[in-house]
């Protein structure tokens, strides 16, 4: 079914078309200067500059590098359009930063372009006349995983929670948000150009495990040592054997990275450091599999006569799935997009801190094509700027318009039908309980 685009909707599309080159240039500039989580200073500065020039009230340095542009038009719902600032570690990507090794191999620069395109349209006074409510444009740091050492350094600088959205919930950045709007390049196999709604998604827990053994000479008296690497290897092998017990519907994934495994080759290693990540489809299953993993570490240490020290690390919550909202579907129809909506049984095995946000406010989400290669891979690249930058901007802007026109009627329907799992205080306490 096709809907007739009204005059304001047509104006929104024209505004984005007029600024098409600017939007594409913004995206390509960010792609050329990738920055790691909580270190996106240049990207944040560029974003703040654009939002200020558009006339938004801009707040910087939220959760260290976050940027928020706000326009309160009249009384009504408050929408927050989100873009993610950070790049992913991928040394082999042709556009990787030679020092940090990060690259925009996850398409965050594309969602930033969509956010800016939407901001351009919503800054227009004639468009604003038709809206009731507040529009926020929020550039968020650190969606990608932050390793344990960096987390420890950040904590000393006042960043208590590991990811940008979680830290922003903690610090009150989302206190005035009724609905969040997010987007991303496709994360599930979809033939269509656009995928509307939020499919179920894995969450995860993480740990840093220090394995204590006993040093000894590797040739003269290895029998007097306790090999920390052997304990580590044994534990990881146990985890591999556990995999046959995982049910497909729980979507369990286990990941290990050995950060240290001894100091010199001719001594029995007395210390190993491992980071372990457990993904699963529910908070209960994450806890259950994490307990299994911990028994593997404890059992291996007991068998060899070593010790285990565990440091719990904050993870991400699974996404609460959400069907495509009417405003989003109507906007896609107005644009004549090739799309499908989220169906029961759709699942994303990856994790995102949008999961945490979905427990706090309703999240209107879509994903899009316009790229080739694998997410987080060296071959990831944008191949169609129209599909990756411009059409997502138009879809976001039309959706915001449809949510806030007629006194914010559609937005109010969404907020009325949504029941949060946590408020700010209970969320903070839950997260703290998981890492204590």
Domain endpoint, select from 284, 315, 346: 315
Give the pLDDT of residue 436. Answer: 81
Q: What is the average pLDDT score of the chain? A: 96
Decide if pLDDT at 2 tops 70: no
The stretch 332-342 carries a mean pLDDT of 97
User: 286, 315, 344 — which closes off a domain?
Assistant: 315
pLDDT digits (tens, 9 = 90+) for 47-64: 999 999 999 999 999 999
Q: Which of 264, 291, 315 is the last residue of a domain?
A: 315
Does residue 160 share a domain with residue 69? yes
The dihedral through the CA atoms of 343, 346, 350, 354 has a sign that is positive
Work out the percent of the chain whose per-residue pLDDT is above 70.
99
Mean pLDDT of 276-289: 95
Pair 379, 311 in one domain:
no
User: In this structure, are residues 413 and 28 in contact, taking their beta carbons and an 8 Å threshold?
Assistant: no
My answer on whether 235 and 272 are in the same domain is yes
pLDDT surpassing 60 at residue 3: no
The number of folded domains in the chain is: 2
Determine if the pTM surpasses 0.85: yes
Q: How confident is the model at residue 4 (pLDDT cuts 50, 70, 90)?
A: confident
Residue of 111, 61, 155, 132 whose CA lies nearest to 391: 111
What's the pLDDT band for 13 if we cut at 50, 70, 90?
Answer: very high
Put residue 374 in one of left, alpha, beta given phi > 0 → left and psi -120 to 50 → alpha: beta
Give yes or no for a contact between 199 and 164, defined as CB atoms under 8 angstroms apart. Answer: no
Looking at the structure, tell me whether residues 228 and 131 fall in a common domain: no
pLDDT in tens, 162-193: 999 999 999 999 999 999 999 999 999 999 99
Reported as a single tens digit per residue, the pLDDT across 119-138 is 999 999 999 999 999 999 99
Residues paired with 364 in a beta bridge: 181
User: Does residue 234 lie in a domain region?
Assistant: yes
Higher-pLDDT residue of 147, 81: 81
């Amino acid at each position: 079914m096709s809907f007739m685009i009204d005059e304001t909707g047509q104006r929104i599309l024209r505004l984005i078309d007029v600024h098409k080159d600017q939007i594409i240039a913004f995206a390509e500039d960010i792609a050329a200067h990738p920055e790691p989580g909580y270190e996106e200073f240049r990207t944040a500065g560029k974003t703040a500059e654009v939002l200020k020039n558009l006339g938004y009230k801009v707040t910087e340095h939220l959760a260290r590098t976050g940027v928020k542009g706000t326009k309160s038009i009249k009384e009504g719902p408050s929408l927050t359009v989100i873009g993610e600032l950070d790049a992913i570690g991928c040394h082999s990507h042709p556009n990787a930063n030679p020092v940090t090794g990060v690259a925009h191999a996850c398409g965050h620069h594309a969602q930033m372009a969509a956010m800016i395109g939407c901001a351009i349209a919503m800054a227009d006074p004639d468009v604003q006349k038709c809206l009731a409510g507040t529009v926020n444009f929020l550039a968020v740091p650190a969606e990608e995983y932050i390793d344990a050492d960096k987390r420890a350094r950040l904590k000393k600088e006042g960043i208590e929670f590991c990811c940008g959205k979680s830290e922003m919930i903690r610090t009150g950045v989302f206190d005035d948000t009724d609905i969040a709007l997010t987007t991303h390049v496709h994360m599930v196999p979809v033939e269509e150009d656009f995928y509307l709604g939020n499919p179920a998604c894995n969450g995860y827990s993480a740990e840093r495990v220090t394995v204590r053994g006993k040093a000894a000479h590797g040739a003269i008296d290895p029998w007097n040592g306790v090999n920390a690497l052997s304990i580590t290897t044994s534990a990881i092998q146990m985890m591999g054997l556990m995999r046959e017990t995982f049910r497909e519907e729980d979507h369990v994934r286990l990941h290990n990275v050995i950060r240290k495994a001894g100091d010199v080759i001719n001594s029995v290693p007395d210390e190993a450091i491992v980071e372990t990540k457990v993904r699963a489809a529910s908070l209960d299953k994450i806890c259950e599999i994490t307990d299994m993993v911990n028994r593997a570490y404890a059992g291996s240490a007991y068998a060899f006569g070593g010790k285990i020290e565990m440091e719990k690390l904050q993870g991400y919550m699974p996404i609460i799935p959400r069907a495509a909202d009417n405003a989003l579907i109507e906007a896609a129809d107005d644009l004549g997009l090739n799309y499908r909506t989220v169906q029961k049984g759709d699942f994303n095995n990856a994790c995102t801190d949008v999961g945490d946000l979905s427990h706090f406010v309703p999240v209107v989400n879509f994903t899009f094509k316009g790229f080739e290669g694998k997410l987080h891979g060296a071959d990831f690249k944008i191949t169609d700027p129209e599909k990756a930058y411009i059409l997502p901007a138009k879809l976001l802007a039309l959706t915001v318009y449809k949510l806030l026109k007629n006194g914010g009627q559609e937005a109010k329907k969404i907020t009325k039908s949504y029941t949060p799992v946590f408020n700010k205080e209970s969320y903070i306490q839950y997260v703290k309980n998981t890492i204590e």
